[in-house]
Amino acid sequence: MKKTTIVFFSLLLAGSISAQETTTHLSLDSCRTLAICNNKELRMADMKQRAAWYERKAAFTKYLPRVSATGAYLHTDKEISLLSDEQKSTLGNLGTTVGSLIPALESMTSTLNGVGSGLAEALHTDTRNMGAVAVMLTQPVYMGGKIVAYNRITRYAEQIAARQHDLALQEVIIEVDEVYWQIVSLQNKKRLAESFLKLVQKLDNDVQQMITEGVATKADGLSVKVKVNEAKVALIQVDNGLSLSRMLLCQLCGLEMDTPITLADENTDTITIPMFSATTMADVQTAFAHRPELHALSLSTDIYKEKVRLARAEFMPTVVLTGGWLGSNPSVFNSFERQFKGMWNVGVMVNIPIVTWGERCYKVKAARAEERLALYRLEETREKVELQVSQSRQKVEEACERLHTATRSREEADENLRYATLGLQEGVIPVSNVLEAQTAWLSAHSEYVSAQIDLRLADLYLHKSLGILK
């Protein structure tokens, strides 16, 4: 029973380790897709774009009528009285007063007092508990162009948010591609470091045998051992850099940083080189037409133009149609009777600005200054874009030439190493020359890998400078 339990847990542990060691295979496109789905900057750009869309929708409602309702309740410890206390007293004693003045009417004192009291009671109001409701409708007719300008501003702002999202998307692609090709480069250089270590280790064995045979010196052996140690250190450094780069790529892709990953291009000896055509190497007009930064700045200038119109609208009158219904209990429209009654009303409100002590003029001038500032910023950015395109095109040309040179150097280094190895075997070439040939072989192959990666990145930066990175 105990043995069975141990076997079971052993199998369970083995299965767990196997699950943990499952390697995720990623291509460049899949890395881009994962990064785009998990990048927080892109999520924030999406939210900004959504907020701008809602702002545009809210701006459109400025064209529509506004309806509002107001209700109120008021309790007072005293009621509203149409008669003063003195007047009430006078009416209540009307017969007494008249009888004292006119003796002939003295017999009617009580009757007249009753009439006066009745009159005072008729003018009594029960207003200690009051309620009122008002419903108002306002419809803008003419606002001096404010609503039109505001709607245009929000539409431009939404388009700017879309361009900013495109820019953030390109930055994510650039970051992912850089790390991806860095891993490919380091993986190739790791294989080179391993091959170089094998070369110098074999040379170390050969030299030790030659020392035994008396055809090599101890100095030769020590030189080779130093090179072996250097090769081991270089391999460790490359391996550490490769591990860190894989962690960074996992982080960019939204994966756990300890996730085992392999890349589609990391195990190939020759990296696919992009083809360059006259279309790819297009003039700066392509960048002017596609760069999201330029689109955003152009839209910004349009926004500031609309802000000038907004400032000018302050000089214009405004016309608003109004309509509403007002009701109260007690009714103020029928001698405060205890009934809920109201009335309809319609009207026109016209506001004509007259004196603002120059405030509107200053606002117009400020808006015009901001407009010119936006134009200057656009012109400056266009100049920088033109420079970036020229630099990117030049870097592509340099990378192509560097790759061509590195290819020849690699072939020559291979041939040189072959001759040096044969010469050592025949005893016509010293150990130092073989070490130099091996070092030159490593440098040439490493330069070839770097040249391929540089060309891929130069192509990437060229597409970004042209605004056609996808």
Quick: pLDDT tens for 133-167: 999 999 999 998 999 999 999 999 999 999 999 99
Residues in the chain: 470
Q: Which tokens sit at 340? A: 């809920």
pLDDT(82) > 90: no
Q: In what order do the strands lie in the sheet with 66-75?
A: 66-75, 129-142, 318-329, 341-351
In terms of average pLDDT, the best of 16-30, 262-276, 323-337, 408-422 is 408-422
Q: Which residue stretches of 253-320 are H helix?
A: 284-290, 292-313
Question: What is the number of alpha carbons within 13 Å of residue 148 lying toward its C-beta?
Answer: 10
Reported as a pLDDT band with limits 50, 70 and 90, residue 123 is low
Give the pLDDT band of residue 368 (cuts 50, 70, 90).
very high
pLDDT band, very low/low/confident/very high, at 117 (cuts 50, 70, 90): low
Phi, psi of 86 (to 5 degrees): -65, -40
Give CATH 1.20.1600.10 domain extents, the chain: 23-64+143-315+355-466
> Over 50: is that where the pLDDT of 382 sits?
yes
Determine the average pLDDT of the residues in 424-453.
Answer: 92
Mean pLDDT along residues 372-376: 95
Q: Calculate what percentage of the chain has a pLDDT beyond 90.
A: 61
Q: Which one of 2-6, 272-276, 398-402 scores highest in mean pLDDT? A: 398-402
Residue 97 is predicted with a pLDDT of: 59
Task: Return the exposure string of 390-428: e unless at least 16 CB atoms fall within 10 Å of the residue's CB, then b.
Answer: eebbebbeebbebbeebeebbeebeebbeebbeebeeee
| Beta-bridge mates of residue 342 | 327
Contacts of 122 (CB under 8 A, 6+ apart): none
In this predicted structure, the answer to whether residue 81 has a pLDDT above a threshold of 90 is: no
Q: Give the tokens for residue 387.
A: 């420079």
What's the token pair of residue 38?
A: 């998990």
Contact 398, 419 (CB under 8 A): no
For 419-441, what is the mean pLDDT?
91
CB count within 10 Å of CB 172 equals 19
Q: Are 326 and 345 in contact (CB under 8 A)?
A: yes
pLDDT of residue 424: 87
Q: What is the pLDDT of residue 111?
A: 65
Q: Over range 102-110, report the average pLDDT.
A: 59
Side-chain half-sphere of 164: how many Cα atoms within 13 Å? 20
Q: Beta-strand (E) ranges in 112-252?
A: 129-142
* Statement: residue 270 has pLDDT above 80: no
| Nearest alpha carbon to residue 339 among 48, 130, 166, 81 | 130
User: pLDDT tier at 15 (50, 70, 90 boundaries)?
Assistant: very low
Q: What rounded mean pLDDT belongs to the chain?
A: 85
Q: How far apart are CA 194 and CA 192, in angstroms?
A: 5
What value, to the nearest 5°, has the Cα angle with vertex 138 and ends 344 and 303? 180
* pLDDT tier for residue 275 given thresholds of 50, 70 and 90: low
Residue 197: the pLDDT is: 95
Q: What element of type H or E holds 354?
A: none
Residues with Cβ within 8 Å of 130's Cβ and at least 6 positions away in sequence, in order, are 73, 74, 75, 76, 328, 329, 330
Q: What average pLDDT score do residues 11-39 get?
A: 72
Distance CA 130, CA 122 (A): 19
Distances (CA, A) of 281 to 173, 393, 396, 451: 20, 7, 9, 20
Residue 95 has pLDDT above 60, yes or no: no
Residue 100: predicted pLDDT: 59
Of 13-17, 113-117, 126-130, 397-401, where does the model show the most confidence? 397-401
The answer to whether the bond into 274 is cis (omega within 30° of 0) is no
Q: Which residue has the tokens 């290819």?
A: 407
- Flag whether pLDDT at 113 surpasses 90: no
Which residues on adjacent β-strands are paired with residue 403? Answer: none
The pair phi, psi for residue 138, each rounded to 5°, is: -125, 135
Identify the sign of the CA torsion 79, 81, 87, 91: negative
Among the four given CATH numbers 3.30.50.10, 3.10.180.10, 3.10.28.10, 1.20.1600.10, the one describing domain 23-64+143-315+355-466: 1.20.1600.10
- For residue 466, the one-letter residue type is L
User: Which of residues 334 and 343 earns the better pLDDT score?
Assistant: 343
The predicted model scores a pTM of 0.78
